[in-house]
Amino acid sequence: MVKLRTVYRCTDCGAATPKWAGRCGSCGAWNSLVEDVEGDDEIISIATGMALVPAGIPKPIDSLDATISEPQTTGVEELDRVLGGGLVPGSVTLLGGEPGIGKSTLLLQLLAAWSGQTLYVTAEESAQQVHMRAERLNAIKPDLWLVAEMSLNNIIKSIDQVEPQLVIIDSIQAIADPLLNSAPGSVSQVRGCAHRLVQEAKARNLPIILVGHVTKDGGLAGPRVLEHVVDTVLSFEGERHHALRLLRAVKHRFGSTNELGLFEMTEMGLRSVPDASKLFLADRRAGVPGSIVVPALEGHRPLLVEVQALTNLSPSHVSPRRSAQGVDSGRLAMLLAVLERRANVNLSQHEVFASVVGGVKLGEPGADLGLCLALVSASTDRPLPENLVACGEVGLAGELRQASNTARRLAEAARLGFTRAIIPASSAVDINIPGIKLEPAQTVAQALALAGLSIN
Ligand code: TYD
Ligand code: MG
């Protein structure tokens, strides 16, 4: 009888130790060690019935055919955009996202749009449930095959039987290899199943998409190694109470990770949003103090979003409330400090609320200036000009620093009819956007004056 060694493996970094400990000796994470098995490739393959990976044969690089890995369009425009054209045959993609965000919906729509035989493996929902959803999404078609299955070997048998050109596994945490003697979702199961599916994908030149759950803090559940074995990791995000969904590539072996895909969740499933700025600004009310439009950049994609601020004299003078939605709370605190010390705007006795409308998260410093203007506009109760946008990073000295790709941001603002832009003086050189008047400023105080909010 072949025996596997029992080890304890860190779910964060993947390091293995023979003894359990409360803290991983390798990466220092607490409570991350779980039981796992380890052995030589050969022993694992005998014990688990898995085929051994054939030994690689070295070849001169120019003898390889690159056309085999040309991406094939998925039929879902925004997905193609993020993938850089489509799915590469033989590639394995992991789609991560919170429960209920729309992963199964997106993939079912992908199968409906895909031309050719496909297989949807549902390990969480029943075949009836998926059928009902497919009806709603208009995804009923003869070459879409469906199997409710949790066992890895049966899944592979289904692939043999259907011979699909695309396989979806919903989800990797719900399937299990019975030979691997641990529960679905455990580190050894997730890793073992993912490894096996990667082998199958490569051997058959078949694209496979795995659905992955994320934990409370946003990381993918299961071992980190999962992200290493797949070719592409996509993250599907959004606020549960907003219709907007953002799709990003976190890792992509076949192209850039800079593209952003945008969808709107509707009654009829997900709809691609080619013109996001228009969507974000649809409900904007002009002439309200504390509101400004910021030309942000998500990857390569310019997005116009409304940033809002509200300030109120705090009933209690001890640490008044600060609330940040869609912007980093640390960044908000820093900008409040800069406004106080460099621009004579003192909000230390005020409750401050800042939010980005539409469920977008602005992670880049280019939104700093817009947020500062919104804060001062709110606290002075003076609305900002309706046709104004502002972008730029604010430094601790109150200086304005240029944000990346200012020209692309301003072109998007011009397209939507904005005519004035306050930008850092350093980025005004060489930029000429028809229709937009540039108003360069060197400091946040100068920017406030240009916006009609000067503080005496
Ligand atoms: P789902 O794809 O099941 O999410 P996940 O697989 O990521 O857990 O989507 C769940 C939510 O999407 C559900 O709460 C309802 C909503 N939804 C719509 O609003 N419209 C639709 O057409 C569909 C199919 C789902
Ligand atoms: Mg689902």
The dihedral formed by the CA atoms of 308, 311, 315 and 317, expressed in degrees to the nearest 10: 120
pLDDT recorded at residue 372: 97
CA of 106 to the centre of ligand 2 (A): 9
Instruction: Measure the N-to-C terminal CA separation of the chain; round to a whole number of Å.
Output: 85
- What percent of the chain is predicted at pLDDT more than 90? 61
Distance 301 CA to ligand 2 centre (A): 28
- Is there an atom of ligand 1 within 6 Å of 100 CB? yes
Q: How far is CA 111 from CA 36, 132, 366, in A?
A: 35, 15, 38
Joined together, the tokens standing for residue 154 give 């049966």
Chain segment 19-72, per-residue pLDDT in tens: 888 888 888 888 888 777 776 655 555 555 455 556 778 888 888 776 667 899
Structure tokens given for 323 = 């609330």
Phi and psi of 229, rounded to 5°?
-80, -25
267 lines ligand 1 (CB under 6 A): yes
Residue 52: the pLDDT is 53
Read off the pLDDT of residues 177-233 as tens digits, 9 standing for 90 and up: 988 878 888 888 888 899 999 999 999 999 999 999 887 666 666 656 788 889 999
Q: Does domain 41-53+69-272 have CATH number 3.40.50.300?
A: yes
Q: Which ligand places an atom closest to the C-alpha of 103?
A: 1
| Domain limits, the chain | 1-39, 41-53+69-272, 279-450
- What are the contacts of 47-54 at 24+ separation with CB within 8 A? 47/2, 47/4, 47/179, 48/177, 48/179, 48/180, 48/192, 49/153, 49/179, 50/192, 50/196, 50/199, 51/199, 53/199
Residue type, 136: R
Q: Is the CB of 103 under 6 A from ligand 1?
A: yes
Widest CA span in the chain: 85
Atom 13 of ligand 1: nearest residue by CA position: 100
User: 279-450 maps to which CATH number?
Assistant: 3.30.230.10
The response to whether residue 96 sits with its C-beta less than 6 Å from ligand 1 reads: no
CA–CA distance, 203 with 298 (Å, rounded to integer): 36
Residue 243 CA: nearest ligand 1 atom is 19
The tally of CA atoms less than 13 A away on the side-chain side of residue 404 is 8
Q: Are 88 and 69 in contact (CB under 8 A)?
A: yes
* DSSP β-ladder status, 232-237 and 244-252: antiparallel
Distance 104 CA to ligand 2 centre (A): 4
Say which amino acid occupies 418: F
| pLDDT value at residue 318 | 78
With a 6 Å cutoff on the Cβ, whether 434 touches ligand 1 is: no
The reply to whether ligand 1 has any atom less than 6 angstroms from the CB of 101 is yes
DSSP state of 198: H
Q: At what angle do helices 187-204 and 152-162 cross, to 10 degrees?
A: 20
Q: For the chain, which ranges sit under pLDDT 50?
A: 1, 49
Q: How far apart are CA 14 and CA 36, in angstroms?
A: 10
CA 146 from chain center: how many Å? 28
Residue among 133, 129, 136, 210 at smallest CA distance from 166: 210
Q: Is 290 left (phi over 0), alpha (psi -120 to 50) or beta?
A: left
Mutate to test the pocket of ligand 1, among 95, 105, 268, 270 (most ligand atoms within 8 A of CB): 105
SS3 content of the chain, % helix, strand, coil (to 5): 30, 30, 40
Q: Which helix (H) or strand (E) holds 127?
A: helix 127-136
The whole-angstrom distance between residue 239's C-alpha and the CA centroid of its chain comes to 12
